[in-house]
A and B are shown apart, each in its own frame.
Chain A
Amino acid sequence: MMMNDMAQEAVAAGGGRKIGEVILDLQNISLRFGGVKALTDISFDVRKHEIRAIIGPNGAGKSSMLNVINGVYHPQEGRIVFHGEERKEMEPYMAASQGIARTFQNIALFKGMSVLDNIMTGRHMKMNAGLLSHMLYFGRAQKEEIEHRKKVEEVIDFLEIQSIRKTPVGRLPYGLQKRVELARALAADPDLLLLDEPMAGMNVEEKQDMCRFILDVNDQFGTTIVLIEHDMGVVMDISDRVVVLDYGKKIGDGTPDEVKSNPEVIAAYLGTSH
């Protein structure tokens, strides 16, 4: 299988990539919406530079988990330790300033804006010039803009989307939109990149591209990645470790091989005889 080979090749090529200390530690997380238990007592950690997958059947709580990490949902119980610090109350927009970037299951791009502008918004947190300085002293604001453009152009080159940089995002095909969304997340120089089904709805070719980009990002920038994905082949190929959720509970955690042979996972997720 082509994808298999390619993924392994990339992993082999990134031999210098060292998985480091724990960067994100989730301890006994429980999340309820009224009476509905979305997550029950879930603990797992994410190490620096690794690709960590969260898998599970529909409604298992994968996206909720991502939203907890991102600070959109506040779990009723449990501790979240990020960069060695326990997380206190936070607003959803603060995740970006803490170094967490994400993409969405149903692409959330600014459809009316150009590819370049979309990716520039990813630099929002890194820019300091306020409205007033823009009005009073255009020079400094402009200089800052140019600096950030440089970084954005790097990301554009990296993801091979040079030719569409001025195109309004709404006009692009689905696969490219997904790539632009990844570019916007990367532009923020994140420590932790959350990908919610980066390959959903893609054809084989687009999936291969996306796989390559995820591995390259991880390899070249050393970005830690947490991803949700339904395509089991992809997950098993590119992840270092996998968490399996079912009905909001953790039923498996380990390397792809360990997870694949875990009887509980096979029963709940892969099914007994498909």
Chain B
Amino acid sequence: MTFFLEVLIGGLLSGVLYALVALGFVLIFKASGVFNFAQGAMVFFAALTFVGFTEVLPGWTGLEPGSGGVFWLAFALALASMIVLGIATEKVVLRPLVNQPPITLFMATIGLTFFVEGLAQAIWGANARGLSLGISDEPVMWILDDFDIIISKFDLIAAGIALVLFVVLALLFQYTRVGRALRAVADDHQAALSVGIPLKHIWAIVWGVAGFVALIAGLIWGSRNGVQFALTFTALKALPVLILGGFTSVPGAIIGGLIIGASEKLAEIYIGPFVGGGIESWFPYVLAMFFLLVRPEGLFGEKHIDRV
């Protein structure tokens, strides 16, 4: 039983991180109807930019390498870069394509993926780096002592950061004027314009926020797996999450992330041995495929009723 709980909790915690990446997709899809394939590349770009700044900042400013000052300055600069990147993408790539069919926009974001990956490596170099947030990946002792369950401190803190981010975003969306404008734009562009909500500003805000989410995801994933090219593909784990949760639902992204995280770990442990193991990497996709057969709009997605 303890072992089951350990696997389950570990799975849920990593699920929160999947949800974090999925959130970036959902934000942009809701507000502008674009499935931004480049979200993964943005995560990579964010992490690499942060690491790059931590490397060069001591030389520029004379701050101690690895000090808190360097960390926060690099964080601020990386955040600024992400917001600029997000807004520039919206302006240069997507705005000229307004009213094009979704597949065109999708292709544009695939192109964007390669561009952003290349840009990041052109600026900061292509070699893999380590990233340390100063949080050790060791079991939390009191939980181990009291409940006999091993839970990584890193996983716990990372999940905590992600949850705080979810709550802050949810509050902003639900209770502020800008949040209401965002929801309005997500719901109906024409109606939003008619009440005086400028679409372009809202899109800029959404891309900025998506950049911020990408940075947080990049920092956490980067410090876990290292900052390297493959980070882009970690983000693809967000796809089954989205299929489960629905492309248009923020709560869906969170629940979907939790289900994927928990089920892949449990499947690895309890089903894995019968089929030779290593199923963690493909199990979420199979789960998503079955889900598509039963509930194609996802758990929380909007149901599409086409009238003939």
A→B interface (CB under 8 Å) = 70, 72, 91-97, 101-102, 104, 108-113, 117, 120-122, 124-125, 127, 129-131, 134-135, 141, 145, 184-185, 188
Whether B188 lies near A111 (C-beta < 8 A) is: yes
Residues of B within 8 A of A141 (CB): 176-177
- What is the distance, in angstroms, from B196's C-beta to the closest C-beta of chain A? 3
Q: Kindly state the separation between the CA atoms of A94 and B201 in the bound complex, as whole angstroms.
A: 13
- What is the distance, in angstroms, from B182's C-beta to the closest C-beta of chain A? 10
In the complex with contacts A120-B180, A124-B181, A131-B178, A104-B196 CB distance below 8 A: no
Q: Is B191 an interface residue (CB 8 A)?
A: yes
Q: Is B289 an interface residue (CB 8 A)?
A: no
Among B178, B181, B198, chain A packs the most CB atoms within 10 A around the CB of B178
- What is the distance, in angstroms, from A96's C-beta to the closest C-beta of chain B? 3
Judged by DSSP, the binding face of B is: helix
In the complex with contacts A110-B191, A130-B178, A134-B176, A93-B197 CB distance below 8 A: yes
Residues of A within 8 A of B188 (CB): 108-111
Residues of A within 8 A of B184 (CB): 110, 113, 121, 124
Give which listed residue, B176, B190, B195, B199, contacts A121 with CB less than 8 A: B195
Give which listed residue, A97, A108, A109, A131, contacts B172 with CB less than 8 A: A131
Q: Kindly state the separation between the CA atoms of A182 and B205 in the bound complex, as whole angstroms.
A: 29
Q: Kindly state the separation between the CA atoms of A120 and B190 in the bound complex, as whole angstroms.
A: 16
Residues of A within 8 A of B199 (CB): 93
In the complex with contacts A130-B178, A134-B176, A125-B187 CB distance below 8 A: no
Q: Kindly state the separation between the CA atoms of A273 and B288 in the bound complex, as whole angstroms.
A: 62
Whether B195 lies near A188 (C-beta < 8 A) is: yes
Residues of A within 8 A of B198 (CB): 91, 93
Q: Which 4 A-B pairs have the closest CB atoms?
A: A96-B196, A108-B191, A110-B187, A125-B196
Among B176, B190, B191, B194, chain A packs the most CB atoms within 10 A around the CB of B194
